[in-house]
A and B are shown apart, each in its own frame.
Chain A
Amino acid sequence: MSAPRPYTRPIDPQWWARPPYLAYTVREAAGAAIALYALILLWGVIALARGAAAYEAWLGFLRSPLSLLLHVILLAAMLLHVWTWFRIMPKTMPRLVIGGQYVPQARITAGGLAVAAAGFIVVLLLALWVRP
């Protein structure tokens, strides 16, 4: 009997760019978009500390067409991130048992999304309220 020679197949280097893994890649990329948005806000805070001229320059950037286009993309990425984040959330928790009953993951996701939607509405109302 000849010795067994198991054959190891090569890994597809582009696995992350193909289904079913593409959705995962997009989800992770959306996280990077959120980080970019945080940097833009941080830039605003720093500009505010450095004086009126710096702050006006930052506002000027926000009003530019390039910035508007960027913000539309960032908003889409944010919505995707919220959706996928709450879908993965029940996976990161121990199985929830309340009153002796297992709470289905879909209900935890729905609860998270409801809280996020309420947060969006509160922030939107606050923004409208403080608008000059």
Chain B
Amino acid sequence: MTESRIPASFMAPGSSSFADFLATNAPDLLPARRTLPATNASDIAPHGTTIVAVTFPGGVVMAGDRRATMGNVIAQRDIQKVFPADEFSCVGIAGTAGLAVEMVRLFQTELEHYEKIEGTTLSMDGKANRLAALIRQNLGMAMQGLAVVPLFAGFDHESSAGRIFSYDVTGGRYEETSFHSVGSGSMFARGALKKLYREDLDEAGAVTAIVQALYDAADDDSATGGPDLTRRIFPVVHVITADGGRRLPDADVAEVADRVVGGRMRRPDGPVAALEGGN
């Protein structure tokens, strides 16, 4: 970082958005600013698969499996697909891993940049909208097979509750209630959560439900990785409450995963839900 005089563009008035600043001053650094040949590029880039998020009173939990696939090949067994976006929110990514990770980095910088310039954090909806804008810029690449579909979750201090947002490739932003999942195993995970979710889950209960849901996703979707008992690789789990966000230590997740796997030894399809009525 040996600099000469700070360039005039850095001193010029501008918006509080880092992405806007990049677009003006270093457009080549934007993930979506690329022209591709008109072919489908989806076979040559690793894809991330299943992300699940669950709210509970006082917070939200998000988790992702650890597998990245490239066609029929497992490209990576221990990829990280859930990242903190800032102190009170996190983002999980499904789709083209390389682009998605770059987009997460830009999103993290975007939130932090705004916070530093303005001296205050963006609202939860403001953050969700900024992410939508970044995804919208990627539409051209999505149409050539390089889609990025994130799931965004965080603790909203205004409503004192955990909130979840899902997106489509055009940048559409949808708020989800209670729980949601994206990626190739998402329908299986969502099916599991329909039966496991309760409004009065505590943090530990939400973590268990999410690990169960990921197990079911891995059970039926070849692109989603289950708990890897031999290598001791377990889902990345982020918990966000009013006190901030944190990644659960691997040892804690391992303990939950061992219990879930232990239960599946007796009943491979998982816990039984009541046929009628509530809990």
Answer yes or no: do A and B interact. Answer: no
- Listed in ascending order, the chain B residues whose CB lies under 8 Å from chain A are none
- Could you list which residues of chain A lie within 8 angstroms of chain B, going by C-beta atoms? none
